[in-house]
Amino acid sequence: MDAQVESSHYEFGEYVHKERWASMWHQLDDVIALHPNRVLEIGPGPGLFRAAAISLGLNIETLDLDPALHPDHVASVFDMPFDDNEFDVVCAFQMLEHLPLDQSMEALTEMARVARTNIVISLPDAAVRWPISIRIPRLGLLQFSIPKPRLRLPRHEFDGEHYWEINTRGCDLDHICELVIAATSMTLDRTYRVPEYPYHRFFKLTKPDPATCG
């Protein structure tokens, strides 16, 4: 497969806006909380997650098809040059929607193969929510969001980048959760939307411990 977007797509101020910075905080928070010895990021984009992760002491490597993004490994997510269980955590943020739905699940299967314990991903969620933050004395910052009323799921058409998004026709959240679990044979521990940027929905998956199976 060829790279879908040019490296110039990741320019600061356009792709890298304030809400995406907030999403990256959650990327780091979720991965660091797993205390991994070795992390693989699929689709590093502008490299911000990798740079921040390294500065925080994580041992991280990146993989992408596009050498212009300077990944550690230039390879396909469908056939990664790694042994089974080689990385503690494998992550992909806002990447899988750039593949047709069936291929994105194939990619998840390969990610699960090389992940020893966990997968952390984020995907676009098209169900519009309006984020609200209020700071109240003694209570601190309260964050919540209000859903935009709708009668039915919107239809998503390929826009040159995203083949699909969560909460569009044929891709409701429950269906996507079922597909993710089936593709990885892992436990879905949590899915949530970024309070500051509800368009990004995170999934944290855990591989069953072989010592406790069967």
- CA 199 to CA 180: how far, in whole Å? 18
The CA-based angle 203-75-106, given to 5 degrees, is 45
Q: What's residue 13's pLDDT?
A: 58
Task: Check residue 19 and give its pLDDT.
Answer: 86
> Residue 145 pairs with which residues in a beta bridge?
131
Task: Give tens-digit pLDDT for 26-60.
Answer: 999 999 999 999 999 999 988 999 999 999 999 99
Q: Residue 99 has what DSSP assignment?
A: S
- Rounded Cα gap, residues 12 and 3, in angstroms: 20
Q: Going by C-beta distance under 8 Å and a sequence separation of 6 or more, which residues neighbour residue 88?
A: 34, 36, 37, 38, 39, 115, 116, 117, 118
pLDDT of residue 150: 87
Contact present, 115 and 87 (Cβ < 8 Å):
yes
Identify whether the C-beta of residue 181 lies closer than 8 Å to the C-beta of residue 206.
no
| Residue among 99, 118, 125 nearest 194 (CA) | 125
Residue 160 gets the label, from left (phi > 0), alpha (psi -120 to 50) or beta, of left
Do the beta carbons of residue 52 and residue 91 sit within 8 Å? no
Contact 4, 98 (CB under 8 A): yes
Q: How is residue 130 written in tokens?
A: 């309006």
Hey, what domains does the chain have and what are their CATH numbers? Answer: 7-208 (3.40.50.150)
- Enumerate residue ranges in the chain where pLDDT < 50: none
pLDDT value of position 141: 86
d(CA 124, CA 96): 9
Q: What angle do CA 5, 9, 10 make, to 5 degrees?
A: 120
Which residue blocks in the chain are alpha helix, DSSP H? 18-32, 48-55, 101-114, 173-184
The pLDDT assigned to 168 comes to: 97
Neighbours of 18 (CB within 10 A): 10
Q: Strand pairing of 129-136 and 60-64? A: unpaired
pLDDT for residue 8: 54
Look at residue 82 in the predicted model and tell me its pLDDT: 98
The pLDDT value given to residue 18: 82
Strand partners, 41: 62, 91
